Amino acid sequence: MNGKALPYLLLMPATLFLCVFFLYPFALVAFEAVTRDGAFTLDNFRTMAGSWKFPVTVSNTLLLAAIVVPIQLAMALLMASVVSRLETGRSVALYIFAIPLGISDLAAGLIWLAIFDQSGFLNTLLSTLGIVDRPIMFLGYQDKLTIFVAVALAEIWRATAIMMVILVAGMGLIPKEYCEAAEVFGAGPWKRFIRITLPLLRPSLQTAIILRVILAFEVFAVVAALGGTNLPVLMGETYNWQFTLQDRNVAAASALLILAISIGFTLFFLRVLRVPKEARI
C-alpha cells in the first residue's frame, strides 16, 4: 500500500462518520433556522428572541454554567491531585471517583429527585432527626432558588468526573523530575502545584474546560427531572419549540444559538489557555 495514501484511508471512517452524523444534520438545521415555507427569513430568530421566556432562559443557562464549571474545575483538580499522589489503591480511587460517568443525565436527575422529593431521603432524614414536623416541598414551583441549587448539585456530582479523568491523564504526562528539582530548591507542595503543575497542565485544562462548558450549555435531562418547566434553560426551550409548540424552525434557530454560544466560549478558552509551541511537553 502506498504510504502516502495510508493516513487518508485511516481518517476516512471518522470523516464519513462526521459527515453523516454531524455535517449533514447541521446543514438541515441551519436551513430550517433561516427559512419558513421555503423562503429565506430571520423571523425564526425574532420569534425565539421575542418569547417572554428567552431572557430568563439565557440567564439561567449562563448562570448555571458560571457557577457549576468553576466548582467542578476546583474539585476535579483536587481529585486528580489525590489520585496522582496515591502509591497504592490509585485504580480503586479512580474507579470510585469515576462512578458518575456511567450514569446517564436523566438517571442522575432522578437520583437527586429521590433526595429532594417530598417523600425523599432528605425529608426522611430531617423527620427522623426531629428537625421538621412535616415534609418540606423543596422542589415546589414557587421555590426556584432551591430547584436551581438542586440542579447545580446534580450537575456537579454527575459531570465532575469527566474533568478529573482528563486532568489525571494530563498530570501523568508531567515529568516527575520537575517537581523533584523544585523540591530540592525548597519549593513547598502549594508552590510546586502553582508554579509547575498548573502551567504544564494547561493543555489538559483547556480540553476539560471547553468540553465541560459545551456540555453545560446543553444541560437538559437533569433540569427536566428536577425542575420541569420551572427552570427554563436553552436546551429545554429548544425541546419545547420542537415537540410542544411544533415549530421546528424556531427550534432550529434555538439550536444554532446554543451552537454559536458554544463556539464563542470555545474560541475564548482556546485563546486564554493557549500553550506556546516551545512550552509544550
- pLDDT tens, 34-87? 999 889 999 999 999 999 999 999 999 999 999 999 999 999 999 999 998 888
User: How many helices and strands (H and E) does the chain possess?
Assistant: 15, 2
Grid cell digits, residue 60: 439561567
Amino acid at 82: V
Q: Please tell me the predicted confidence (pLDDT) of residue 2.
A: 62
In angstroms, rounded to a whole number, what is the distance separating the alpha carbons of residues 230 and 76? Answer: 30
- CATH superfamily label, 26-279: MetI-like (1.10.3720.10)
**Strand pairing partners for 36?**
39
In angstroms, rounded to a whole number, what is the distance separating the alpha carbons of residues 96 and 80? Answer: 12
Neighbours of 174 (CB within 10 A): 17
In angstroms, rounded to a whole number, what is the distance separating the alpha carbons of residues 91 and 204? Answer: 20
**Strand pairing partners for 39?**
36
Q: Please tell me the predicted confidence (pLDDT) of residue 281.
A: 56
pLDDT beyond 70 at 259:
yes
Domain borders along the chain are 26-279
What is the pLDDT averaged over residues 259-269?
Answer: 93
Q: Give the pLDDT band of residue 142 (cuts 50, 70, 90).
A: confident
Of 16-20, 139-143, 145-149, 268-272, least confident by mean pLDDT is: 139-143
pLDDT beyond 70 at 276:
no
In angstroms, rounded to a whole number, what is the distance separating the alpha carbons of residues 150 and 164? Answer: 22
pLDDT beyond 70 at 280:
no
How many alpha carbons lie under 13 Å from residue 240 in its C-beta half-sphere?
18
Q: Please tell me the predicted confidence (pLDDT) of residue 168.
A: 92
Q: Please tell me the predicted confidence (pLDDT) of residue 277.
A: 65
